[in-house]
Every structure is written in structure tokens, then in C-alpha cells.
Amino acid sequence: LPSFDPRDPLGLDDLLTDEDLAVRDTVRRWATDRVLPHIADWYERGELPDIRELARELGSLGALGMQLTGYGCAGASAVQYGLACLELEAADSGIRSLVSVQGSLAMYAIHRFGSEEQKRQWLPGMAAGEIIGCFGLTEPDHGSDPAGMRTHAKRDGDDWVLTGRKMWITNGSVAGVAVVWAQTDDGIRGFVVPTDRPGFSAPEIRHKWSLRASVTSELVLDEVRLPADAVLPEVTGLRGPLSCLSHARYGIVWGSMGAARASFESALDYARTREQFGKPIGGFQLTQAKLADMAVELHKGILLAHHLGRRMDAGKLRPEQVSFGKLNNVREAIEICRTARTILGANGISLEYPVMRHATNLESVLTYEGTVEMHQLVLGKALTGLDAFR
């Protein structure tokens, strides 16, 4: 029998191909070299000072729009994209958010619903990390229920004129292009908005206690005039943004397990070396119970992510299954981080260790891309056939 590996107790690496392992190792090495040495400092300062350089490096790794094909994108499998999300979030959820929003929201929207000209104009620069994208759906008064959004686009001759406000938009202030969802006379449509247009501004949201190494902004659209071809031609209605979100949520199913893995490993190392009452705290049954339960949830979560990845690669992944994964994995990840924090005692609250940073990051991950409650309602509806959203 192969020996027991505390870092892979179920032998899940056996599910991966050599190519999968190569993708994972490349992203892990990049995150270890480029993010881990600085992340505590960035987090404390509440900044991501190297964001443009990081985006370009992520572009050269092929991590931006990784699953998309053509236009400079890597055309990777869903499992490989998931592995990349896990490794990035093991460094910090803010870095994974940068990649999710760029690839799964902004680029995905253009790739899936854009015209050939829009794809040619934007996707190669975005895949290279030269142009950062953001995705504006949420508004101050419309979060979980975006159907009633107030941002609207009106026709003026051939032009469109966009007015409204978007809130909590990742990458907003650093974006060169924003995919903005707005009401029109025909229903909700997506618009590709170059952020240098008159009337567009993106003030950064400060004073966050979560995702501090991530840029979060408001988007203000004050009669932003756009040409007729700024609209995404291939979709009308909420189906557009919701299918982008489903793609990004899939990445979070994996990513959240990265934050959990980093916290678990930190707690495991600590439990083996920290001594109290004359022996390592990992030798006490109560600590072992915590470690065993954390390991079970962590690797069950990775197994679930892998299963969903294979379904996605086979073209069989349903949105309800993505909700299943996001609900379980983010909820369990936050629990693992909180338990890890207790094992580290007072050190658990320090930025010298990653666990409190991951735990507070996951508070955002629990809320964005559909709150826990929204995913419970999605599953509740799928299970009962009864809609309890309103």
C-alpha cells in the first residue's frame, strides 16, 4: 500500500494527470514566490500595490481566462482552472478574486456573449493581463436580487447612454474595461465600457476588514455615452450575468479549499511543535479531534470540487450543482479557518500566521457570488420544486 500522506490523506493526487500536476505546480510556485512574502504587508496596508505587474505575470502564466479558447487564452480544462484557483487562494482570496473577476466574469462575458469585434478588441489584452477587467452587477440597493437594478441604458440616436451606480465591484478602480449590466427597453443587457469614457468614475471602497489585498470599488456612470456596438449582442435578461456568475462560483468551489488548506497546514505544523503541559498540543485528543475533522472536511471539499470539475469538462455541470459546491465548500472552509485559529492560540490572531487573514477573507467569499442563503434557496427550489425566493 502507498504510505499515508498527511497532506493528501485520500490520495486525491491520483485523480490528476501529469498536465494537471504541472499546472498546479506552476501556479503554486508563482504564488509562493510572488505573493506569500508580501501578503501580510499588503493586507495590513489594505492595498495591492503591484496589481498591474501581478496581472501581467498571471497573464504570462496563462491564468487569465484560463478555460477560454482562442484570443490568447490558455484553453485549459475545468479541473486545471480549479487547481489554479485553489493554489491562488491558498496564498490569498484577494489574488484569486482578481483572477476570477478577470477570467470568469469580465472575459467570460465577452467571450460568451460578445461580438467577434469585441472579442478581438478586448480578450487578447485581458488574457495577457495588460488590460484589467471588472464586472458590475451589484448596486447599492440591489444585491441578491439584481433583477430590479436601477442602472439603465437609453438609446440616443445610434448611441447608448448609461446612467447608474454599481457597488462592491472587484478591480473597479484599476480596470481598463468594465462589463456593466443595465436595464434597457428590451430587458437587462451587458455593456462593454472602456473606463476612460467621460462620465465614468470608480472610487475605491476603503475600510474593509476582509479581502484587504483586493481592490473593491463603486462604479459611477453619469450619462456615459457609448457607441451602438458597445452592447453584448448575444444575450438579454439576467441569464447573461447569472451564467458568468455560475462560472466564477465554480472557481470558488476550488479556491475556498485553498484558503482552508493553508489554514489547516498552518495549524498542523503548529500543533506538532507548540508544547504545553510538557508535550506538543497535537498530542492532546481534543486537538487531534479538531485536526481530524478539519482534514475530513478539507479533502471531502476537494473531492467535491474535482467531481464538479469533471462534470464541467463533460458539459454536464448544472447551476444547482455549482450552488451545492459553493454552499458546502465556503461554509466548511470558514469553519476550518476558525478551528485552525483556535489551535494557534494567541498567535492565531496575528498576521504572522495566515489563518485569521484567510478567515476574514472568507467572510466576503461567503457573501459574494451568491450568499449562503441564496444557494440554500437554489437547492431548496431544486429539491422541492417550490420557489422560496420571494
- Binding residues (CB under 6 A) for ligand FAD: these are 101, 135-138, 143-144, 168-170, 211, 216, 364, 367-368, 371, 373-374, 389
- Cβ closest to ligand FAD, residue 224 vs residue 302: 224
Residue nearest ligand FAD, CB atom distance: 143
Q: How far is the CB of 230 from ligand FAD (least distance, A)?
A: 18
From 139, 363, 369, 373, the catalytic residue: 369
**Closest approach of ligand FAD to the CB of residue 256, in Å:** 14
Please work out, in degrees rounded to the nearest 5, the angle formed at the alpha carbon of residue 112 by the alpha carbons of 150 and 313.
Answer: 125
How far, in whole angstroms, is CA 275 from its chain's centroid?
A: 37
Report, in Å, the least distance between residue 179 CB and ligand FAD. Answer: 9
Q: Catalytic annotation on 369?
A: yes
Q: Which three cell numbers stand for residue 356?
A: 485569521
Residue that the C-alpha cell 475556498 belongs to? 256
β-strand 159-170 against 216-226: which pairing, if any? antiparallel
Which helix (DSSP H) or strand (DSSP E) does residue 108 occupy? helix 108-113
Output 339 or 364, the one with its CB closest to ligand FAD. Answer: 364
Cα–Cα distance for residue pair 27/378, rounded to 1 Å: 33
In the bound state with ligand FAD, the residue whose beta carbon lies nearer, of 118 and 216, is 216
Question: Rounded to 5 degrees, what are φ and ψ at 52?
Answer: -70, -40
Closest CB to ligand FAD among 62 and 136? 136
Instruction: List the one residue out of 132, 144, 152, 160 whose CA is nearest residue 217.
Output: 132
Cell output for 383: 429539491
Residue closer to ligand FAD, measured from CB, 101 or 343:
101
Query: Residue 110 CB, nearest distance to ligand FAD (Å)?
Result: 15
Helices within 141-274 (DSSP H only): 239-273
Nearest approach in angstroms of CB 364 to ligand FAD is: 4
3-state secondary structure of 75: coil
Catalytic residue annotation: 369
